[in-house]
Amino acid sequence: MTGTINIDGQNIPFEEGQTIIEAATAAGVYIPHLCHQPGYTPHGSCKLCTVKVNGRNCSACTFPAADGQTVINNSAEQELDRRRITQMLFVEGNHFCPSCEKSGNCQLQGVAYHLNMLDNHYPHFFENREMDASHPDILIDHNRCIFCNLCVRASQQKDGKNVFGIAGRGINKRLIVNSPSGQLKDSDIDINDSAVHICPTGALLIKRTGYQVPIGQRIYDHKHISEVALAQENDNGQD
């Protein structure tokens, strides 16, 4: 079955089984997102892709497209909601962009730029979060984890492993490592695993590679995340 949905006045075709975000991406319409990546089971946790479908708020990454849907993606209300959500992500973790090696290549930052987020609005938590530097080549900086679950899914779905998990609830939520010691060095992760390369922020990094891309040549220095994401995700869809 195929059909048509309408996003912000534009008719967009979809195929059976597609979510709203998949149909939108294929048609070149960007819906902001962090926890969604083509090829991975939808997770619906970051809520950035919230759109109004026939008047109700839904996550575009989990909601199936259905013929005749009216979707509002870009409205002042939607933008404010998304900015507030992003601000919450910033104050909940410890995102010190000025010294972060992911700066310029970070999707969280890219989304914030896209949303014209100029401040953090909420009081900062300044939580004490740890770092796991035990692995010789891979680093986890929990300060920057936004619990998008992408490394968890990548490890399971692409790498055929089960290195990561999310434990706890609310403010006790944390990324955990499936190893006897709980440390990354004792897990079966490999530097070539998809899980190592999928982090949208600077939480999961390859060691000793930071700052090698000069300022001005980083992904989001000149290009909007909308442009970058649409190009990448449509490329990925084709292979």
Partner 1 sequence: MYEHLETAQNPANLKRVVVDPVSRVEGHGKVTLLLDENNKVQQARLHIVEFRGFEKFIQGRPYWELPVLVQRLCGICPVSHHLAAAKAIDQLVGVDPDKLPPAADKLRRLLHFGQVLQSHALHFFHLSSPDLLFGFESDISKRNIIAVLADYPDIGLQGVKLRKYGQEVIRMVSGKRVHGTGAIAGGMNKALSKEERDYLLRDVDQIIAWADASVALIKKVHTANLPYYDDFATIRSNYLGLIKPSGALEFYHGGIRAKNDAGETLVDHFDYCNYTDLIHEEVRSWSYMKFPYLTSIGKEDGWYRVGPLARVNNCDFIDTPLAEAARADFKQHSPEAMVHSTLAFHWARLIELLHCAESIKTLLHDPDIMSSELVAKGEKRYEGIGVIEAPRGTLFHHYQVDENDIVTKANLIVSTTSNNMGMNESVRQVAAEYLSGQELTEPLLNNLEVAIRAYDPCLSCATHAVGKMPLQLELVDAQGDTIDRLVRHSDGSFEH
Partner 2 sequence: MMAKIKVATTSLAGCFGCHMSFLDLDERLVALAEVAEFDRSPITDIEHCGPCDIGLIEGGVCNSENVHVLREFRKNCKILVAVGACAINGGLPAMRNHISLEDCLLEAYRDGIGVENAQIPSDPELPLLLDKVHPIHEIVKIDYFLPGCPPSADVFWTFLTALLEGREPSFPYELVHYD
Distances (CA, A) of 64 to 28, 39, 60, 122, 140: 18, 15, 8, 33, 34
**Which are the contacts of 171, defined by CB distance < 8 A and separation ≥ 6?**
92, 125, 127
- Interface map 89-108 toward partner 1 (x if CB under 8 A): ---------xx-x-------
Using the structure block, give the residue that is written with the tokens 């979809």: 14
Residue 207 in the binding site for partner 1 (CB under 8 A): yes
For residues 55 and 207, give the distance between their C-alpha atoms in angstroms, rounded to a whole number: 46
The one among 104, 153, 199, 201 contacting partner 2 by CB under 8 A? 104
- Of the pair 129, 158, the CB lying nearest partner 2 is at 129
Instruction: Report residue 92 as tokens.
Output: 């909940």
Residue 214 in the binding site for partner 2 (CB under 8 A): no
| From partner 2, partner 1, none, interface partner of 101 (C-beta below 5 to 8 A by class) | partner 1
- Residue 91 contacts residue 124 (beta carbons within 8 Å): yes
The one among 214, 222, 238, 239 contacting partner 1 by CB under 8 A? 214
| From partner 1, partner 2, none, interface partner of 116 (C-beta below 5 to 8 A by class) | partner 2
- Residue 167 contacts residue 176 (beta carbons within 8 Å): yes
Stretch that binds partner 2, among 23-31, 63-71, 92-100, 159-167 (CB under 8 A): 92-100
Q: What residue spans of 93-130 are helical by DSSP H? A: 107-114
- Of the pair 42, 202, the CB lying nearest partner 2 is at 202
Distances (CA, A) of 198 to 114, 153, 158, 193, 233: 20, 10, 11, 9, 13
- Interface map 39-78 toward partner 1 (x if CB under 8 A): ----------------------------------------
For residues 17 and 31, give the distance between their C-alpha atoms in angstroms, rounded to a whole number: 18
Stretch that binds partner 1, among 105-113, 148-156, 191-199, 206-214 (CB under 8 A): 206-214
Residue count, binding to partner 2 (CB under 8 A): 25
Binding site for partner 1 (CB under 8 A): 98-99, 101, 131, 133-134, 139, 207-208, 210-217
